[in-house]
Amino acid sequence: MDIVEETPHRFRIDRHGPMRVPGVVFASRDLLPRGGEALEQVVNVATLPGIVTASYAMPDVHWGYGFPIGGVAATDIDRGGVVSPGGVGFDISCGVRLLAAGLTASELTRPALERLMDGLGHATPRGMRRGAVWHLSGPGELEKVLTGGSRYAVEAGHGEPRDLERCEDRGAVSDADPGQVGVRALDRGLGQVGSLGSGNHFLEVQQVDEVYDDAAAAAFGLRRGQVCVMIHCGSRGLGHQICTDHVRAMEPDMARHGIEVPDRQLACAPVGSPRGRAYLGAMAAAANYARANRQLLADAARQVFAKVTASPLDLVYDISHNLAKTETHGVGGEPRRLCVHRKGATRALPPGHPELPPGLGPFGQPVLIPGTMGTASYVLTGVAGGPAFASTCHGAGRVLSRHAAVRTVPGKELRDRLERKGIAVRAGSWRGLAEETPEAYKDVDAVVGTSEAAGLCRKVARLTPLGVVKG
């Protein structure tokens, strides 16, 4: 496959074969994917009906299900554009929540950190365990979670009204349709709300190590040296089952719409069709579940912080990086109504955008980029005129499979290595810890630096870990 270097941070794959638009990869030479699988997926996405401008890939791009992880694609809703579950992924509305504490790292002694991590480890269900924060009374209450998201969780006493101001969509997607969520998905979701899960999900205690923009950081509620809590998780088994169910439903239905795709994992349906609307309604319900999930985990962390440190935890922001949203963007000099798929990519609203929360208008939307264990995480913000429909990266980007990562380092050895760096570790399993070794990922500093150089975002602050809870 020919790939053209347009700038040191932008590469182009010209249209060929059934591609409707070119492919655009934001990366450096060092960050381009190893092997051709992810780039081939960029090409395949460019064949989707109704796609506009380009099939985009972020600097953390790597191979995924149908779409690459780190992929962004927008389809024109009014001109035959489709929605594809592969463009959202199995962990619907997987995202990040960041909370800022009322104390600095210098005020948190090592014994206090150990007590804090013990409390957070006990209060954070993870791995395959059921949620322990909120025992839903039954399907009726689960439906309220699916329609109300963080809003319902706050109403039920698990949070503060201010939390909703600093959450994407004010805590809930409005067009959720629980009726499009299958019985198996509902069954899986009933016992998992308020749990972290496994894989690359985590709860991390961090400190603000560096501030690049004092004014934006202050508006976000951050200051140098401050202790923070970052939570990374999604919609658990419910979201996974919704993706599975709707891919299966769309695949045999494509021929009726005259749709052909080069990979069955790109199964899709016109946005306005019954199948398309059904998926979007179920996806929105899963997004609300994910937001409620992070709300509950944050509420549990607040209780631990209050007990151990007497410090409050204020929400900085909550943002998804696996979602499809209806948005209006300029295409060919005119506004178009688009279905924007972001899979392993984060929405990054620029300063002045009407959807920004109160007080953030001059600074843009907080963008939360988790790193890997033992490395940095970042807070970014959107920029005016950013390409790729106001999107940026979502993390470091995997380079080793979990199986390969386990062969790299034993879990106990990794724990000891992190502890020697002063990072307190609470692991659900040694294998799960080894699967997430930093060697399995790209350099998050390089990914963020390339994203900024490509004009996708702007750095606000860098955070480094003090302690981590893993599944």
| Helix (H/G/I), strand (E/B), else coil: 384 | coil
Percentage with pLDDT > 70 across the chain: 98
Instruction: Report the distance separating Cα 430 and Cα 412, nearest Å.
Output: 6
Residue 139, pLDDT score: 84
Residue 167 has a pLDDT of: 97
Confidence of residue 418 (pLDDT cuts 50, 70, 90): very high
pLDDT for the residue numbered 471? 78
Q: What is the pLDDT of residue 206?
A: 98
- Residue predicted with more confidence, 35 or 135: 35
- Confidence class for position 137, pLDDT limits 50, 70, 90: confident
- Confidence category of residue 373, pLDDT binned at 50, 70, 90: confident
Res 127: pLDDT? 67
Region 191-217: what's the mean pLDDT?
Answer: 95
Mean pLDDT to the nearest integer, 13-22: 98
Map tokens 């409050």 to a residue: 312
d(CA 140, CA 297): 22
For residue 329 the two structure tokens come to: 């963007």
**pLDDT tens across 77-110, in order?**
999 999 999 999 999 999 999 999 999 999 999 9
pLDDT for residue 134: 65
As a three-state string, the secondary structure of 327-356 is EEEEECCEEEEEEEEEECCEECCCCCCCCC
Longest dimension (CA), the chain: 64
Please state the three-class secondary structure of 233-293 as a single string: ECCHHHHHHHHHHHHHHHHHHHHHHCCCCCCHHHCCEECCCHHHHHHHHHHHHHHHHHHHH
Q: Which pair of structure tokens corresponds to residue 231?
A: 């939570």
Residue 167, classed as helix, strand or coil, is strand
- Residue 103: DSSP 8-state: E
Mean pLDDT of 353-369: 96
Q: Is 277 exposed, middle or buried (0-12, 13-18, 19+ CB in 10 A)?
A: middle
Element (H, E) at 12: strand 10-13
Looking at residues 189-209, what average pLDDT do you find? 93
Check if the beta carbon of residue 287 is closer than 8 Å to that of residue 149: yes
Tokens 């594809």 sit at which residue? 84
Residue of 318, 161, 323 lying closest to 242 (CA atoms): 323
Q: Name the residues annotated as catalytic.
A: 394
Q: Which two tokens stand for residue 266?
A: 């790109």
> DSSP labels for 131-145?
P-S----SHHHHHHH
- Mean of the per-residue pLDDT values of the chain: 95
pLDDT at 328: 97
Cβ 316 vs Cβ 220: under 8 Å: yes
Residue 88 carries which DSSP code?
T
Mean pLDDT of 433-442: 93
The ranges assigned to domains in the chain are 4-399+441-470
Torsion sign across C-alpha atoms 89, 90, 96, 97: positive
CA–CA dist 315, 366 (Å, integer): 11
Tokens of 157: 């006493």
CA 218, chain centre distance (Å) = 24
Read off the pLDDT of residues 274-302 as tens digits, 9 standing for 90 and up.
999 999 999 999 999 999 999 999 999 99
The token duo for 256 is: 């009726």
The mean per-residue pLDDT over the stretch 234-249 comes to: 97
183 token code pair: 């019985």
pLDDT given for residue 198 in this prediction: 87
User: What CATH fold (topology level) applies to the domain 4-399+441-470?
Assistant: tRNA-splicing ligase RtcB (3.90.1860)
pLDDT band (50, 70, 90) for residue 428: confident
- Tell me how far apart the alpha carbons of residues 24 and 72 are, in angstroms, rounded to a whole number: 10
pLDDT at 347: 98
Residue 132 has pLDDT above 60, yes or no: no
pLDDT of residue 128 exceeding 70, the answer is no
Answer whether residue 136 shows pLDDT above 90.
no
pLDDT band for position 16 (cuts 50, 70, 90): very high
In the structure, what pLDDT confidence band is assigned to residue 138 with cuts at 50, 70 and 90? confident
